[in-house]
Amino acid sequence: MQAGVTEGRSIEQLDTLWRYEIPEGVLLDFRLAGPVVRACAWAIDAALRGVIYLVLVMVLALLGGIGTALMLIGFFLIEWFYPVVFEIHNGATPGKRAMGILVIQDNGVPVTPSASVIRNLLRTADFLPFLYATGLVTMLINREFKRLGDLAAGTLVVYRDEQHERIDPPSAIASKPPIELSETEQLTLLAFAERGENLSVGRREELAELLVEQTGLQDGKAVDALYAYANWILKGR
């Protein structure tokens, strides 16, 4: 599966973006989940497991011998396979889902059943000597925040990228920017136009006024001018 495909790399040293080139030759970006958010997810799962244990004990204690047997088998399944069931189903345990993260293979596809079993059996080793100390140290010494189980299974924990509703930049009469803009500058203008409506009016104007030397405008007029330039970049005259 890996042959011929560029290994993913974290781009830029202080960024947790994980970039992976897929067979179609384009790059996919993933945001890696660090130890803190994963610990929170684990805590939520631990609480949920506690509740399930309690319910099991209360319900099955009424059934006598077979009830006890089912309870013990339930304990076994929850201890070892609780995360596996959820990860195979939709990539995330309830805790991970609540924290907005999920498990994937390190080539971007959903986690496979065998990888999920490996990473969750190896929790035992990551947990040693107490509270995931081994796992934490391992996560901190590799670039992808992988604990031992992730290394052996070839899995990554990443943020679930939610598709935001696209806001079209406010349409304005297109006007050509007064100076020649580089590609990055054009992208910055477009980003401003697309996200400006999510900012407060004051912040929007403050940002637009950074260009007062070029536009010679202030307040709402500066904002409108930038929208006009963005429209020009998008549509042409």
Residue that the structure tokens 């995360």 belong to: 83
Residues 6+ apart with CB under 8 A from 151: 138, 142
Residue 198 CB neighbours (<10 A): 10
b vs e for 92-105, b when ≥16 Cβ sit within 10 Å of the residue's Cβ? bbbbbbebebbbbb
The reply on whether position 198 binds another protein by CB under 8 A is no
Q: Is 199 in the site for another protein (CB under 8 A)?
A: no
166 binds another protein (CB under 8 A): yes
Count of residues that interact with another protein, criterion CB under 8 A: 59
In the list 113, 178, 216, 220, the residue contacting another protein (rule: CB under 8 A) is 113
- Tokens 């994980």: give the residue: 18
Residue partners of 86: CB distance under 8 A and separation at least 6: 92, 93, 94, 96
Q: How far is the CB of 125 from another protein (least distance, A)?
A: 5
Closest CA to 31 of 21, 20, 16, 41: 16
Q: Give the one residue of 10, 19, 100, 107 binding another protein; rule: CB under 8 A.
A: 107
Name the helix (H) or strand (E) containing 203: helix 201-208
Tokens of 91: 């990539």
Interacting residues with another protein between 66 and 105 (CB under 8 A): 66, 68-73, 75-76, 79-80, 104
For residue 30, the SS3 value is strand
Question: Is there binding between residue 161 and another protein (CB under 8 A)?
Answer: yes
167 contacts another protein (rule: CB under 8 A): yes
Using CB under 8 A as the binding rule, whether residue 194 contacts another protein is answered as yes
CB of 136 to another protein, least distance (A): 15
Beta carbon nearer to another protein, 92 or 104: 104
Angle at 234 between CA 228 and CA 235, to 5 degrees: 90
Select from 27-35, 197-205, 208-216, 218-226 the region that touches another protein (CB under 8 A): 27-35
What would the x/- binding string for another protein be over residues 131 to 150, using CB under 8 A?
Answer: ---x-------------x--
Which residues are near another protein by CB under 8 A?
22, 24-29, 64-66, 68-73, 75-76, 79-80, 104, 107-110, 112-114, 117-118, 121-125, 128, 134, 148, 151-154, 161, 163-164, 166-167, 169, 183, 186-187, 190-191, 193-194, 233-236
